[in-house]
Every structure is written in structure tokens, then in C-alpha cells.
Structure 1
């Protein structure tokens, strides 16, 4: 039984030059095209009219048209609009979507013709662009700190406290574990060498100087960069994706004063405390290993430690903690604010922030080693 308003094609005024007009009527939707006999006829008719640029098409008489029916016409036209085409207003939007999808599939990625010099140039330009943004971020944080100092009562104390808890207190476990294990390994390996030369008493000097001056601050900074730095970047990135940052600007809330400055202050406070904690755990691990390998008692270890490590090394370690924490927070916030509102940029930005933060920390540690090369070796 034929369906009411069945899809039909009518060719008018055809002549020997293959010119004419094709008028489509009826319902061109998937349920109407499901009729086996009707679809065979339509496919045969469309095949005979395929790739004929002289035909004029009139689809304005179609009662309703969905994507399936429109795709049949599009394939018949050779995936491009014919020169003479009449559409209803609703059909125009449907064919525009099909046309855009077709263009997206046809466009092939262009082969990159960038030379090594051009790649180097783009890399240098990107570096200086990041450097400019980073310096601007530092200036903004300084301004926010001055504002905070002038009006401490209205400052973001709750945000600072929350960031100290997340970046500092919750990192005690992992820093203690890594610090203890590093102390055990360093003490064990040093004891093996010192035993050969009979220099067992110098184990305290090696552990004290290496852990308090170098390894403790560096280990704590790397762990915080991987743990808290990625968290800061991801948090700001998600706020960008969900448009929370834009909403804050609309409400007149400063990103720097409520988001960035509290994180910088919190890490500047937390990192020195984490450095002391990591140093203590590493020294405990070293004492345990020294007791097992060289039979050095904990009392001997603690008595010799103040003489082996001058006070200046403790100060340098704490200063490193403040600088490392500030740099980690600034780098993480810098990349977090540059994330675009899509998930791909979020993952890439978080990874880049962690790698950059660790690199900056190691560079800063090298600068400290050069500046304080003659300090703390009395």
C-alpha cells in the first residue's frame, strides 16, 4: 500500500541537451524511505540524474526532509550544490551543515614546510612571550601583596589557609617517605665507600651537608611541583573550561588577589616547613642505615651533626624552600591561566606546567650553588 506523501522525483522539460528541472515532493525522511520498493525507484532515478550540472533542482515542495534524505540528494549532486537549486528556509540550514561536514572531511592537513631555522625562531618567540607573561604575573602578585599588606583584615585568609593545608599538610606523607628512603640509600652507599678508606666518622658530614643544603630542599620542591603544582594548574584550567574565571571578572573579583596571590603565599610558607620535615626524615633514614652498616649510634650522629653542618647551611636550605615554593606557584598559575577552554589544552598545560616548574627549580638550585659557593663550609 503506497504511503501518503511518498517521496517522489519528477523531471520536467527534459531535452536532448540533458537540461531540465527536477522537482522533489513528499516526505523525505527515514521512515518514508524505509519502503523497499520506493527506495529502489528513488535510487535508480537519482543514479540516472547524477553528475548532471545542467539540471535545475527544486526541493521547496518537500513536506519534511531529514539528514538521510538530504544526504541522498547531496551524493547525487557530487557532494556540491548544483548551479540552480531552490530550497525552503529550513532546508537551507540542513544542507549548510552537510556542506560544512563535507569540507571538514575533504580538507587534508598541509605538510609542514618549516625549516629548522623557522622552528628555532618560533621556539625563541614562544619563550620570550612566556617570559613576558611570567614577568607580568610577578608584577601583579607584587601589587596584590602590597594591597594585602595595606588591608590585611579584608585579605584572602581563608584561601591562604586552604592552600597551606592542601600544598603543605597533605604533602607530609609523601615527602616523609621519599626523604626517609633517600636518606637510607645515600647513607648505605656512602658507608660502603667510607668503610674502604676507614673514614666512618665522616658519614655524618656527608649526610648532613648533602641533605640539609641540597637534597632536602630539592626533593621537597620536586615533589611539591609534581603534586601541588599540577593541582594548581588543573584547578585554574578547569575554572577556565567552565568559564568560572570569566564569571569572576564579571562580578568584579580579581583573579590575582583571590586565586594567584593566596597560592604564592601558601607555598612560600609551606615549602620551608616541608624542607625541614624532609631533612629530618632523610637524616632519620641516614641514622638507621648508619647504625646497620657502620654501627654508629643515634646519639653520636646527633652530637656530630651541629659541628658537621654550620648554621649557614640551614639558612640556605630554608631560603631555597621559600624561593622554590614561590617559583612553583608562579609557574603553575602562569600555565593555568593560559589554558584554553578545551580538555586537550587542559592536559597539555598541566604537563607543561609540571615539567617547567621542575626545570625552573633545578635552575634556581644551580644559581643558589653559584651564589653561595663560599658560604657554609667553615
Structure 2
């Protein structure tokens, strides 16, 4: 075992000191932790003497390209002044010397680097905005085409999306809405009880759930559930080259892919919003009854007087906009997916994040523009 250990021995001769390379310098022998640590320590002790020393590789038992690479790196990637070796060993070393390249030097960042990065991001966002604007314009043209020729409309696709986006989302939206209503009612009750204003829980729950939380919560759930599904579906069509096949066959992608999903989400989002709001109000009503003794009959009778109908109208209008935006963002990122699985995952993630961000931004815009409605 000692004979095959990779090592370097020093031998003094009449002509000077000779470094003898012994053992087995192969991948199997060099990858052992103990042997590698011992050889590394020995090479570090000989650093600076490689080019000025005489080397003899003939005592080597085994020699492969990994051993030659270690030895070549120790020599500073240059031949020593004098080296003695077999022809086969020289061939291996010459191959390693031919294909070994130095890593590129790290470029020092200058003052223009932040500007370049900022420019890339600005142009990337501008390209995203241009693509979204083009998608909106194409959707308007497709809707005009559908109005002119309703018999050519993709009605089966539309009905399928209505079912998958709307009907299958009812359980999860109802559950989340109910739990949000319970949590919100318990938190509000703890504050109102301090001032003896138990009856005002109906006003707070009604305004917050009907006007804001219900539509936003439903939109966020749909963005994470259906927005990602839209991006994944269209992205898979890109990976499997179905989009290219549609273009070759002359099938308009906007008319068959984007418009049915946009219309389906625009139609179904107000219904899901109302459904989520009702579930949240039910949870808040039960929590108010348990924590504050507010009876369900009092809650139901007081709610119409506490919340104006215009709040529900505003919430419904917001939901339509939310649905259109979620569908457009999902289709936008789906159509921009490159034909590889990595891009598909990145596009789906970006679609969900962008959809939720857009929903919150548009909701804030509605809150500012319609701040006097229903108050």
C-alpha cells in the first residue's frame, strides 16, 4: 500500500538534487482524502522549486490525466528545466498542457456597471409593457371579431374554462373566505368590546369584506390557482411546439388561447368574489355571535343599512378588472416561455407574483379614485 501512495522523494546526486515522483498518480489514488492531503502538503513544501529542480517520473507505477494535471499545475503550467520520463508519460503531459487553459481574470466593475444593469432592467420592463399592450390590443380586436362572427367563437373552450376556473375554485375560496371572516371578527371584537361598541362590528365587517377583502382575497386565490395554470398550459404548448403548429396551420393564438381565458375570468371573477364575500360574512357572523353575542338575525337585518349597495357594485366592477388582468398576465408570461423546462418554471413564478402585485396595485387605484363611493 505504501508503494502505491502518490508522493515525491528527494534524492541527492553528484549533479544535484533530483525529485523522484513515485506511487500511483491516478484518479482512484488521488481522490482519497488522506493521500490527497499528504500530497498537497508535500507539494506546498516544494513550491518555488519546481522549475529549478530536476524531475524524474520514471519510478511512477501508474499515471493518468488527473495525476498529470496535478503535476502540471504544480510546475506552474510550464516545463521544468530538466525532466526525465517515459514517452507514454510525456504524451499524457503534453495532452494536459495542450488543453489546460487559465480561468479568465475577474473584471473589475467600473462606474458604468450600475448604469448598464439599470438600463437592462428598464429595457426589459419596457419590453414587458409593450408585449402586454400588444396583448390587450389583440384581445380587443378578437372581441370585435367575436361580436361580428359569433358562430366562429371558441364557445367550447370558454365553457371549459368557466368550469375549471370558476366551479372548481368554489370550495377553496369559500373555505379561505370563511376562515378570514372568523379571524377578522375575533380581532375586531376584542377592540370594540373595550368601548362598548359591539353593534358596530356589522359595519366594520360589512365594509371591509364587501368592498375590499372579498374581491382582493378572491383575486389573489385565483391568481395563484388559475393564473399559474394558464401560464403553465400555454408554456407547455410552447415547449411541445404546439404554438408553432398553430401558427403553421393559420390558427390565431389570441382568438383561441387568450380570448377564451380572458372572457372566462372576466365573467367568473365577480361570481367568485361574491361567493367569497358571502363565506367571509358567514364566518364573521358566527364569530360575532360566539364572541360578542351578536345574533345572526341582528347581523342580517343591520347589514343592508350599514353597507350601501354601491359598495357591492364597486366590488363587482373591480372583480371584472381583476379577472381580465390575471388572465392577460398569465397568457403574457405563457406566450413568452422559451422551449425549455427551466423557462417554464420561471415564467409560472413570475406570472403569479406579477398577477398578485397588479391586483393589489389596481385595488389601491380603485380605492383612491372611488374613495367617496358608498361612504
Q: TM-score of the superposition, structure 2-length normalised?
A: 0.74
Aligned 8 A contact 2:166 2:268 in 1: yes
Q: Does 1:78 align with 2:120?
A: no
Corresponding residue pairs, total? 293
Q: 1:35 corresponds to which residue?
A: none
Cα separation, 1, equivalents of 2:202 and 2:218:
21
**CA-atom RMSD in angstroms:** 2.3
Q: Gaps (5+ residues) in structure 2?
A: 1-61, 66-85
Structure 1 counterpart of 2:216: 218
Separation in 1 of the partners of 2:105 and 2:221?
A: 40
| Structure 2: distance between partners of 1:209 and 1:112 | 57
The one of 247, 250, 258 equivalent to 1:249 is 247
**Take 1:124 and 1:324, find their aligned partners in 2: how far apart are those partners?**
25
User: Which residue of 168, 171, 174 maps to 1:173?
Assistant: 171
What does 1:22-33 align with in structure 2 at a 5 Å threshold? none
**Cα deviations by residue, 1:126-177 (Å, 9 ceiling, x for unpaired):** 1111111100000001111111111111200011111111111111111111
- Equivalent residue, structure 1, for 2:272: 274
- 3-state DSSP of counterpart to 2:337: coil
Equivalent residue number for residue 189 of structure 1:
187
1:150 maps to 148
CA contact (8 A) 2:230 2:334 kept: yes
- Aligned residue for 1:153, secondary structure, equals helix
Per-residue Cα deviation, 1:42-90 (whole angstroms, up to 9, x for no partner): 99644344567xxxxxxxxxxxxxxxxxxxxxx378239xxxxxxxxxx
**Structure 1: which 5+ runs fail to align?**
1-39, 53-74, 81-102
Aligned mates of 1:292, 1:41 — CA distance in 2: 82
What secondary structure is seen at the aligned counterpart in 1 of 2:98? coil
Distance 1:121 1:281, change over 3 A: same
Distance 2:291 2:225 in 1: 34
- Point out 4+ residue stretches in structure 1 off by more than 2 angstroms: 40-52, 75-80, 106-118
SS at match of 1:195: helix
Whole-Å Cα distance in 2 between the matches of residues 174 and 194 of structure 1? 30
- Quote the Cα distance in structure 2 between the aligned partners of 1:254 and 1:42: 60
Question: In structure 2, what is the Cα distance between the partners aligned to 1:131 and 1:353?
Answer: 14
> Which residue in the other structure is 1:124 paired with?
122
**Is the counterpart of residue 47 in structure 1 residue 67 in structure 2?**
no
> Distance between the aligned counterparts of 1:332 and 1:353, measured in 2?
6
1:68-127 per-residue CA deviation (whole Å, 9 max, x = no partner) reads xxxxxxx378239xxxxxxxxxxxxxxxxxxxxxx9xx8769658462222222211111
Q: Does structure 2 retain, via aligned residues, the 8 Å contact 1:46–1:76?
A: no
SS in 2 for 1:275: helix
Give the structure 1 partner of residue 326 of structure 2. Answer: 328
